[in-house]
Amino acid sequence: MTWAAKLIKHNNENRIAVYFEKDVDLIARIKQVDGARWSQQKTVWHIPDTIENRVRFKIAPLANSLPSLEGIEHITKFIQWLSSKRYSPSTIKTYSEALKSFLIFYHEKQIAEITNEDVIIYNNEFILKNNLSASYQNQIVNALKLFFKTIQDKQIIIDTIHRPKRGKVLPNVLSKEEIKLILTVLTNTKHKTMLSLIYACGLRRSELLQLTFEDIQADRKLLVIKQSKGKKDRIVPISDKIIEMLRDYYKEYRPKKWLFEGQRENTKYSDRSLEEVLKKSIRLAQINKPVSLHWLRHSYATHLLESGTDLRYIQELLGHSSSKTTEIYTHVSTKSIQNIKSPFDDL
């Protein structure tokens, strides 16, 4: 997303103006920001001037917009350590930005002098005071805990820091009829195969785009997913129907390196393009829901559960480390719920 942001005054209110080229996808994304509004007068989208939004759009949230030289040095060391431990690029970015925010707050203080009490003060006086989100708060706390343990060799007692209680949000699930409609409206072989494979094997978006033809073991009817979330390999079953679809796709496109390649040879299909494929299918299927690619994975797990597959097997198929993560699908499976008889019927 190419954008620019600056502070403005709108109707005597401090706001952040966000400028970008007119694009349906970008407009949809800016609308997801709480309090986002369009100004007909200024012809610009603008959002509340909060610390979290300043962080999100890279507008300095504090008088000092950079850490001290010592802080910058330690952030660099932290990034190097995370890289050496093969943390994902997104995690490295999240943790380093979280640490940067904290060290900006303590710009004038020597890092060696920072104590557990300082972390508590930062949590109360910066995160909570500025109404930053619970997920942002957890990212900050996790990053600081890891930084002080690895780079400073200092223990931060997390129990003394007020952690937000995680909301229990149920996964979004589509019916089998809706899934079928989404897949059948597509006429492009590549597009249909990509979305079909996500649903048929419960894949994450990154897992799909990382696949090569060597990962398909057609004779054993297995798909090998390598080095996914948590650096884990796993295998999932693939049906004859999917294998036949993949063969037809290969005959038409002849990819060289990746299973699904972009317009240029030997390049992976992009995340953005895959999202556009789903948006197109949702529009053609006339499904009025904010469906994301992850809904297909959620639907795969829920439909397996409803067909009688043991929860332990579903955990393995999804690559979940904890069974508690998988258990959330029991709350959206309708099979058992629909069989419950209401006491009203006995009246």
| Catalytic one of 95, 106, 249, 329 | 329
Residue 32 half-sphere exposure, CB side, CA atoms within 13 Å?
7
Look at residues 283, 198, 189 and name the one whose alpha carbon lies nearest to residue 238: 198
303 noted as active-site residue: no
Q: How many residues does the chain have?
A: 347
The contacts found for 160-167 with CB under 8 angstroms, 24 or more apart, are 160/116, 160/120, 161/119, 161/120, 161/123, 162/120, 162/123, 162/124, 162/128, 163/137, 163/138, 164/134, 164/137, 164/138, 165/134, 166/134, 167/134
Q: Provide the 3-class DSSP secondary structure of residue 46.
A: strand
Q: Work out the end-to-end distance of the chain between its first and last CA atoms, rounded to an integer number of angstroms.
A: 59
298 noted as active-site residue: no
Paired sense of beta strands 216-217 and 44-48, if any: unpaired
| Catalytic one of 46, 100, 297, 298 | 297
| Catalytic one of 29, 229, 279, 280 | 229
Q: Provide the 3-class DSSP secondary structure of residue 114.
A: coil
| Catalytic one of 294, 312, 331, 335 | 294
Six token digits for residue 118: 């300082």
Q: How far, in whole angstroms, is CA 261 from its chain's centroid?
A: 22
204 noted as active-site residue: yes
| Catalytic one of 100, 191, 204, 205 | 204
229 noted as active-site residue: yes
Q: Give the catalytic positions in this structure.
A: 204, 229, 294, 297, 320, 329
